[in-house]
Chain A
Amino acid sequence: MKIARRKAHTAERPIDAATIIALIVAGILILVTVLAPWIAPQAPDAIDLAGRRAPPSTAHWFGTDDLGRDLLARVLFGARVSLAIGVLAAVLTVALGAGVGTVAGWTGRWVDALLMRVADAILAVPRLPLLMIGSVILRPGVALLILLVAAVSWMETARVVRAEVRSLATRGFVEAARAVGAGALLSMWRHILPNVLPILVVATTLAVGRSILLESALSFFGVGVQPPTASWGNMLYQAQATMATEPWLALFPGVAILISVVTVNALGEGLDVRRSGQGG
């Protein structure tokens, strides 16, 4: 019993230190985001005109902004918006990409050609300008913003999933399933999905980072999340004007973005190494 367990343990790749750290940080980020109303020192929109533009101190760890609002509280509440957009947009991105990729890879022929040319075309258009124009035209709320981010990000996943589905569809076990009368949907569910799932997990993790960056860039240009809702991006947008005199306003939201994106990217890299079984 003991021997068997040890054997099973060594057969699995040990999780490397970087991935463990990333997991811990991700846990803290989720916890802080969920618990924001309880751990924030005050409400994110509580205005204190007497205490405006205060540098970081023991009373306000991250300082206050030009309306006297506590920056720590705003960063904590901003996390809810920025991280929620990041995660939801990533899930939608990969779901969309997996859907298109599966249909293209399974159906083949002109459907495949058409879908892949559309993917190529959207990939050729620089992503951020495209998204900025879309935002200006549609003036999206948070839900539509998530949809927009996914709409310009699904193509890479679609390409990978399509290639994988194409190679799987010709393999013996899938052909065997088809031969005994399994329909397309059943084959996909039972045989294709389990095989592409690891790819989708890695793709989703990496997409979270990219979505957070896209949202923050959009909001930084004033065409993403609109005030008074605080997101890390629009906090930086507001900080830009007074940056020289109140640098802390530009510092902390950016650090929050950097930490979040580094964490999910490290996690994605770690998962990818485990999936493909290659050492780094």
Chain B
Amino acid sequence: MLLTVLRRAAQSVPLVFVVSILVFALLHAAPGGPLSVYLENPGVRPEDIERLRRALGLDLPLPTQYLHWLGAFARGEWGFSLSDGRPVADRMLERAPATLELAVASLAVALLAALPLGVLSAIRRGGWFDRITGVGALAGISLPVFWFGLVLQLSIAIGLGWLPSSGRSSAFDHGAVDRIRHLMLPAIVLAAVHAAGWSRYLRSSMIGILSQRFILAGESRGIPRKVLVLRHALRNAAGPLLTVVLMDAAFLVSGAVVTESVFAWPGLGALFTEALARRDYPVLMAFLMVTSVAVIVLNLLADLAHRTLDPRTR
């Protein structure tokens, strides 16, 4: 088992390298390169630019620059933000907790919705409940996330005034209830697409399992239907679902960028859109690298979970 883990992990290493080349190439494709911000500033003289180029090593050949950059990145030296001059790593670290909080909350919301919806529509396949959830799921995967956020803001936050419309906490109230109230709408918006996709995935795998012979055998032995569905079938469906959940990590990042921007949630996604508006390339590149590596790691976990939970792949 350990050997399998190591071998599979080793396969991810070249992937990280290809991603890093991609990100590096993107940075250098910017007009004016990494110094484009200074080029637009009339207060910066051409000789200053030349000095900066030499100081930052931008006059070296590209492959050398790439290796320097990659080495520094691996050591945690992610450069300095162009907008406030602070280390990029610091800026990202202070934003990470908010994003993790949102991600965990939306994961919980999505699973709480997807599990009962998926199981119920599988055991009542073709019935009205199944049809309604089918249409709902179709709408869910087709939703423009940012627009769904705007609509919830308009209706529930501004119209009805039930929940705050943006931010992570109120100005003078940092209690748990206040925090949870702020968390609810962003978590629901981020969860919607996943809840829709996962419920349909769970439904089809439950249908497949419930039609297998060990379920029929269990039925003929008089095991109650409820036990068969919840203990025998759902346990078999849980593994593949977990894999799908982990594989969706990349979508979660895209969703977080949109959701955090709409709800002014002070996490990494909002940091990304702020950096984008200011052409803060060091932050943008670090964001892409960190999220891509996170996605690769989560996909690796998905693969390993699949191998562990499904005895046929051992």
Interface residues of A (CB under 8 A from B): 117-118, 120-130, 132-134, 136-138, 209, 213, 216-217, 220-221, 223, 236, 239-240, 243-244, 247, 250-251, 253-254, 257-258, 261-262, 265-266, 269, 280
Contact = CB atoms under 8 A, between A and B. Distances in A.
Contacts of B134: 280
A245 to B, nearest CB: 10
A9 B154 CA distance: 50
Given A133-B284, A220-B146, A223-B276, A125 B22 contact: yes
A59 B22 CA distance: 52
B19 interface: yes
B288 A129 contact: yes
A77 B104 CA distance: 40
A269 B142 CA distance: 12
The 4 lowest CB-CB distance pairs between A and B, nearest first, are A254-B147, A121-B18, A128-B254, A126-B253
A265 B284 contact: no
A134 B30 CA distance: 9
18 contacts: A118-B18, A121-B18, A121-B19, A126-B253, A132-B273, A133-B284, A136-B276, A213-B142, A216-B144, A220-B144, A221-B276, A236-B146, A236-B150, A243-B150, A243-B158, A257-B144, A258-B143, A269-B138
B145 interface: yes
A266 B253 CA distance: 26
A258 B144 contact: yes
Given A121-B18, A121-B19, A124-B292, A257 B147 contact: yes
B257 A126 contact: yes
B15 A124 contact: yes
A129 B255 CA distance: 10
Given A117-B14, A133-B26, A258 B288 contact: no
Interface in B103-157: 134, 138-139, 141-147, 150-151, 153-154
Given A129-B287, A240-B150, 19 more contacts: A124-B295, A124-B299, A125-B23, A125-B250, A125-B292, A126-B254, A126-B288, A127-B251, A127-B254, A129-B254, A136-B279, A137-B29, A138-B29, A213-B142, A221-B261, A243-B154, A257-B144, A261-B143, A262-B138
Nearest to A266: B138
Interface residues of B, number: 44
B150 A217 contact: no
- Prevailing SS type, chain B contact patch: helix
A198 to B, nearest CB: 20
Nearest to A263: B142
A126 B138 contact: no
A221 B142 contact: no
Given A126-B250, A220-B146, A121 B22 contact: yes
Contacts of B206: none
Contacts of B150: 236, 239-240, 243, 250, 254
A129 B291 contact: yes
B254 A236 contact: no
Interface string B245-283: 000001101100110010000000000110010010000
- Prevailing SS type, chain A contact patch: helix
Contact of A132 (B31, B251, B276): B276
Contacts of A257: 144, 147
Given A126-B291, A129-B272, A129-B291, A258 B19 contact: no
Contacts of B144: 213, 216-217, 220, 254, 257-258, 261
Interface in B279-303: 279, 284, 287-288, 291-292, 295-296, 299
A244 B295 contact: no
Given A217-B144, A223-B276, A134 B26 contact: yes
B142 A209 contact: yes
A244 B141 CA distance: 26
A29 to B, nearest CB: 14
Nearest to A257: B144
Contacts of A262: 138-139, 142
A265 B142 contact: yes
B154 A137 contact: no
Contacts of A250: 147, 150-151, 154
Contacts of B18: 117-118, 120-121
Given A120-B15, A223-B276, A265 B147 contact: no
B39 to A, nearest CB: 14
A240 B23 CA distance: 31
Contact of B154 (A118, A217, A221, A244): A244
A244 to B, nearest CB: 5
Contacts of B29: 137-138
A280 B257 CA distance: 33
Nearest to A113: B14
